[in-house]
Homo-oligomer: A and B are copies of this chain.
Amino acid sequence: CDLVKGAHDAWSGWLCVLLVGVCAGALAGVIDIGASWMTDLKFGICPAAFWLNREQCCWSSNETESVHGNCSQWWVWSEIIGGKNYKEGAAAYIISYLCYVLWAVGFATLAASLVKTFAPYSAGSGIPEIKTILSGFIIRSYLGKWTLLIKSVGIMLSVSSGLMLGKEGPMVHIACCIGNILSYLFPKYGRNEAKKREILSAAAAAGVSVAFGAPIGGVLFSLEEVSYYFPLKTLWRSFFCALVAAFVLQSINPFGNEHSVLFYVEYNKPWIFFELIPFIGLGIIGGLIGTLFIKANIWWCRYRKTSKLGQYPITEVIVVTLLTAVLAYPNPYTRMPTSQLIYLLFSQCGLSVKDDICDYKRNYDRAQTGGVEMAEAGPGVFNAIWLLLLALVFKFIITIFTFGIKVPAGLFIPSLCFGAIVGRIVGIAVEQLAFVHSELWFFSGECLKGEDCITPGLYAMVGAAAVLGGVTRMTVSLVVIMFELTGGVRYIVPLMAAAMASKWVGDALGRQGIYDAHINLNGYPFLDSKEEFGHTTLAADVMQPRRGEPLCYVTQDSMTVEDVENLLKETEHNGFPVVISHESPFLVGFVLRRDLNLAITNAKQTIEGVDSNSLCWFTNHPPAEQSRTVRPPYTPVKLKKILDMAPITVTDQTPMETVVDMFRKLGLRQTLVTHNGRLLGIITKKDVLRHIKQMDDEDPNSVLFN
């Protein structure tokens, strides 16, 4: 029987993550399909079958179509409103423009209204909050079913509206909601917050896994960025959960191709040693862009919090969307969905890519044999570079204002996009350099005259990794995600070099990644496990009460019910240390306010003879020294049951470095401070957080706490 129970115990965890994986994968499929359909709705509709998006619509028509091209089955709005002839021309352009803007504003407004009305927690990316939750803070209903529902619908709407945001961060939040809801099916996980966090870590991995189609990257993201405690058991579960989720999503096949990843590319040219210099250069640029973005975004979010702007969230969404849509439409690179732009920038130029960016002077002599080598850029490429630069500036500025508005919004896709644009431009520059000066020593032996030995798409990928690294300060998980996206072992070194450069530059300019910066901005009580506490303060310097203030405690057998009730009334502490007596304050244990309150109320109601003058006993046997004659023989209230006899203690001489380490590693909420066994005070997590802020010359009162 013990064996069966043990097996059930062990399996319930696996079963739970299996269910989480299946649900996350399925929901991600639904969201992908929905978002893609609604995105295309901005441009037109498939009258034959309105539920198809443009790509699917054109499949059924069996026509060949280019990336931008429309097939006859797909009607753009100008055609629907003005008739079949309104496909081109100024009037058609204006109609399309208007429809685009209207749909965009409509979607965004709907998303914001839903969020505001039903689930305010579903705004934003959710990753800072999940980090905080996984560090031990409880935010009620942050991972509830309403958040799940509204965030799922909202992310489809906000992505479709063409705002500069991605669905990857929210997907992590959605997966965590699923994890939280499903954990209630398994009492072992639902009832224990610490155990539940194991499921949430696995769910976060599944979220990234389905967002990018990168299961290993998801596990590492959960390990590196999201989770606080990540024991090996969680590693295996996360791995399984991410695998299942990716597999389910792959079976649904929302992208309609055989690859489950978001941006599948396959390069075949090796990189040459010299290229490490531009790659590291891209890393440095990525770190700079990332830091600049964080600083600007935090500045704007702080302004929103402190000004009147924060009171009009829906208006803000409408204004931002209107601006985005109006400014985005004229430039083809901003008009197309961001993920499509990234895909275009990552891809290798081949005969099938008709975009300006691939307007190379082609060597048609060899076109017959299948291998077309391109090298010299045509005018289209230079045109594309100008448009891309404009797109970069526009997207960068608008994203600063977008991340933080009250719709579900992730930052991965915009970051990747900035980097891809920069990278592609650098890549084209290096490519042309190699073409024109292939005699330079660092190209010699690698690049033949007139042949193309540089892949600008690879630069886009490296640049994307660099900016994402600069924004989030991920390293290993970033490289693995990019590596899973492309499926090339060869490009690990370039990606790693860029990620390290980006992280170093970023950390030199500003310590925190965007998530930590938002945690800090919102004042969440997050005890960062990455940073070392390097100061030499002692526990005695941090503990409450401060010098001169009285210490609140309960004695084990000499306080009356009235005394305890007064203590409960006068203070707001979550718990109280229990000591032997006023005269010898040796520590006995710790009692929670909640338990004490409940036990006393209960005892007064149910046990006869208990009133305000009854003694509270935290011992089993009556006190020996005190003569019972002093007090009338009131029935004592026995409270030993609720006493925690094993509180974690430190001495007053313990360095705060050790104390912080204990808080982090053991997940403490408080520790008691003693000297030679005598109780001196208490250090709570809040005290620790405040102390760290104080040591870093920040405002200690900005820490929220529940």
Contacts and interface: CB of A to CB of B under 8 A. Distances in A.
A484 B490 CA distance: 9
A41 interface: no
Given A231-B529, A677-B676, A239 B475 contact: yes
A247 interface: yes
Contact of A677 (B240, B261, B485, B587): B587
Contacts of A233: 530, 532
A677 B586 CA distance: 6
A484 B476 contact: no
A1 interface: no
A532 B13 CA distance: 14
A199 interface: no
A662 B666 contact: yes
A653 B662 contact: no
A236 B475 contact: yes
Interface stretch (A104-112, A120-128, A164-172, A643-651): A643-651
Given A216-B480, A261-B489, A530 B224 contact: no
Interface string A635-648: 00000000001111
Contact of A239 (B235, B236, B243, B476): B476
A220 to B, nearest CB: 8
Interface string A464-485: 0000000000011001100111
A671 to B, nearest CB: 11
Contact of A216 (B247, B476, B645): B476
Interface stretch (A85-93, A130-138, A357-365, A492-500): A492-500
Interface in A179-198: none
B216 A492 contact: yes
Interface of A: 215-216, 219, 224, 231-233, 235-236, 239-240, 243, 246-247, 250, 258-259, 261, 270, 475-476, 479-480, 483-490, 492-493, 496-497, 500, 503, 529-530, 532, 539, 580, 586-589, 645-651, 653-655, 658, 661-662, 665-666, 674, 676-678
A475 B219 CA distance: 12
Nearest to A585: B677
A588 to B, nearest CB: 5
A585 B250 CA distance: 66
Given A586-B678, A589-B653, 5 more contacts: A240-B496, A243-B492, A246-B493, A258-B270, A586-B677
A496 B236 CA distance: 11
Contacts of A655: 646
Contacts of A240: 496, 500
A496 B243 contact: yes
Contacts of A587: 676-677
Contacts of A232: 224, 529-530
Contacts of A261: 489
Contacts of A497: 243
Nearest to A655: B646
Contacts of A677: 586-587, 674, 676-678
A646 B653 CA distance: 6
B489 A484 contact: yes
Nearest to A233: B530
Please name the 6 residue pairs, one residue from A and one from B, whose CB atoms are nearest each other, closest first.
A677-B677, A645-B653, A646-B654, A586-B677, A487-B489, A665-B665
28 contacts: A215-B492, A215-B496, A216-B492, A224-B232, A232-B530, A233-B530, A233-B532, A239-B476, A239-B479, A240-B500, A243-B492, A243-B493, A243-B496, A246-B493, A258-B270, A484-B492, A486-B489, A487-B490, A580-B676, A586-B676, A587-B676, A587-B677, A588-B676, A589-B651, A646-B655, A648-B650, A662-B666, A677-B677
A651 B530 CA distance: 30
A490 to B, nearest CB: 7
Nearest to A651: B646
Given A258-B270, A487-B487, A646-B653, A247 B493 contact: yes
Nearest to A477: B235
Nearest to A661: B666
Contacts of A665: 665-666
Residue from A250, A489, A500, A650 having most chain B Cβ neighbours under 10 A: A489
A495 B678 CA distance: 58
A227 to B, nearest CB: 10
A235 B475 contact: yes
Nearest to A674: B677
Contacts of A662: 666
Contacts of A493: 243, 246-247, 250
Contact of A219 (B243, B250, B476, B529): B476
